[in-house]
């Protein structure tokens, strides 16, 4: 029996306003839903971007990716590298890998549906639950709004949380971190994320000032592609460094790990190009004996984490999950149980196949 070939690729753009904007410049999110048909089956995947580039991503999918992929075997591992080389003239990462993720995830969804199993079962279940931590895009929150959010994290049972830093006034950051640290108490960990707002001297000053709060990690203190800066900071400070949400290829992750520049590795499954490269990055992290903490997309990241041999941390951002992209509220294989995300084989009385993601 011959292997099914990709017959068609269709896309549609979903734009949804956030119930609570990430800031004045991010009032909405975009998802490009990708449907792939092969034989008598179809699979759905998606590409995602907060504000910049959704139409460019969709154009890459509708033109260059579709023209390349139609007629090829519907196997993500076979097509990914050839497609990346084909698109490389337009850039090795960024819009190209974001667009590639839509096709890659759709092909994995198609494969899992054909097997009649969920993604975790397809990959091989190794654990029934994974740890989650509370997170928020909250640098623009008032102090009262931030502390109210921290109380919600405690009430939800999270064992750790992460807040934003990088204010123009370092004293404002110190006041906010101190307030959240008091709410979380010594039994929960706290991490901070500067979202690339500092240069190296500012990062050194900020990190030294924040060290007294017993931070779990400091995330993106400087520009995400500045490998030399991360390597330098890691030799100068006593806090674990986290980076990865804005690193787009397995090649670049390999360079950061080989340089021993980061401790916590945070690939975003869409930005790196889908599940195929994400699994390669997870292998690199395991070999380097670092901590894997996928960026955003908890409903999908958790399904992968159930299949990994090592425990990972899953980020749950308040008001910024898949539901913010217009995914309808239908059963998925991931159940929320306080501080953990649990795997459900059967949800709502029927078996969930494929990625278990539904689009409105």
E strand or H helix at 35: strand 28-38
Backbone angles phi, psi at 97, to 5 degrees: -70, -35
Tell me what percent of the residues of the chain surpass a pLDDT of 90: 79
Q: What would the two tokens of residue 353 be?
A: 């196949």
**b/e sequence 209-239, b meaning 16+ C-beta within 10 Å:** ebeebebbbbbbbbbbebbebbbbbbeebeb
Res 338: pLDDT: 72
pLDDT the model gives residue 347: 54
Place of tokens 């908890």: 298
Instruction: Find the mean pLDDT for residues 11-27.
Output: 86
Active site residues: 164, 295
User: What's the predicted TM-score (pTM) here?
Assistant: 0.95
Q: In the predicted model, what is the mean pLDDT of the chain?
A: 92
What is the structure's pLDDT at 158? 95
Q: For the segment 138-190, what is each residue's pLDDT rounded down to a tens digit?
A: 999 999 999 999 999 999 999 999 999 999 999 999 999 999 999 999 999 99
Q: Give per-residue pLDDT as tens, 202-243.
A: 999 999 999 999 999 999 999 999 999 999 999 998 899 999
pLDDT of residue 301: 93
Residue 2 banded pLDDT, cuts 50, 70, 90: low
Domains of the chain: 6-115 (3.30.390.10), 121-351 (3.20.20.120)
- Mean local confidence (pLDDT), 294-311: 92
CA dist list (Å): 56 to 62, 150, 210, 234: 10, 37, 39, 36
Please, which pLDDT band fits residue 357 given cuts at 50, 70 and 90? confident
Q: Give me the pLDDT at residue 129, please.
A: 92
pLDDT at 348: 55
More confident residue, 201 or 354: 201
Q: What is the pLDDT of residues 104-129, one digit of tens each?
A: 999 999 999 999 999 999 999 999 99
pLDDT in the model for residue 358: 73
Which value, in Å, is the radius of gyration of the alpha carbons in the chain? 20
Question: In the predicted model, what is the mean pLDDT of residues 94-100?
Answer: 97
């Amino acid at each position: 029996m011959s292997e099914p070939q990709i017959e068609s690729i269709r896309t549609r753009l979903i734009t949804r306003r956030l119930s609570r904007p990430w800031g004045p410049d991010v009032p909405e999110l975009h998802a490009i839903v990708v449907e792939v048909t092969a034989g008598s089956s179809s699979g759905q995947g998606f590409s995602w971007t907060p504000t910049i580039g959704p139409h460019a991503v969709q154009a890459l999918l509708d033109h260059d990716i579709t023209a390349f992929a139609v007629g090829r075997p519907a196997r993500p591992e076979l097509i990914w590298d050839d497609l990346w080389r084909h698109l490389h003239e337009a850039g090795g990462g960024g819009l190209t890998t974001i667009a590639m993720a839509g096709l890659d995830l759709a092909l994995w969804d198609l494969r899992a549906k054909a097997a009649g199993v969920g993604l975790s079962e397809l990959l091989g279940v190794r654990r029934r639950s994974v740890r989650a931590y509370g997170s928020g895009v909250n640098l623009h929150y008032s102090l009262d709004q931030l502390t109210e959010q921290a109380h919600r994290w405690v009430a939800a049972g999270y064992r750790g949380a992460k807040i934003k830093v990088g204010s123009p006034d370092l004293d404002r950051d110190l006041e906010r971190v101190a307030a959240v640290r008091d709410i979380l108490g010594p039994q929960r960990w706290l991490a901070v994320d500067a979202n690339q707002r500092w240069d190296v001297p500012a990062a050194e000053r900020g990190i030294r000032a924040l060290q007294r709060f017993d931070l779990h990690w400091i995330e993106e203190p400087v520009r995400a592609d500045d490998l030399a800066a991360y390597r330098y900071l890691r030799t100068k400070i006593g806090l674990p460094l986290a980076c990865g949400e804005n690193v787009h290829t397995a090649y670049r992750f390999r360079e950061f790990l080989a340089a021993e520049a980061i401790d916590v590795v945070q690939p975003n499954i869409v930005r790196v190009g889908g599940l195929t490269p994400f699994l390669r990055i997870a292998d690199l992290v395991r070999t380097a004996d670092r901590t894997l903490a996928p960026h955003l997309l908890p409903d999908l990241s958790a399904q992968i984490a159930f299949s990994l041999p090592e425990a990972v941390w899953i980020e749950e951002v308040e008001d910024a999950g898949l539901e913010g992209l217009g995914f309808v509220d239908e059963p998925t294989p991931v159940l929320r149980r306080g501080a953990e995300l649990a795997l459900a084989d059967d949800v709502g009385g029927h078996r969930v196949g494929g990625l278990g993601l539904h689009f409105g």
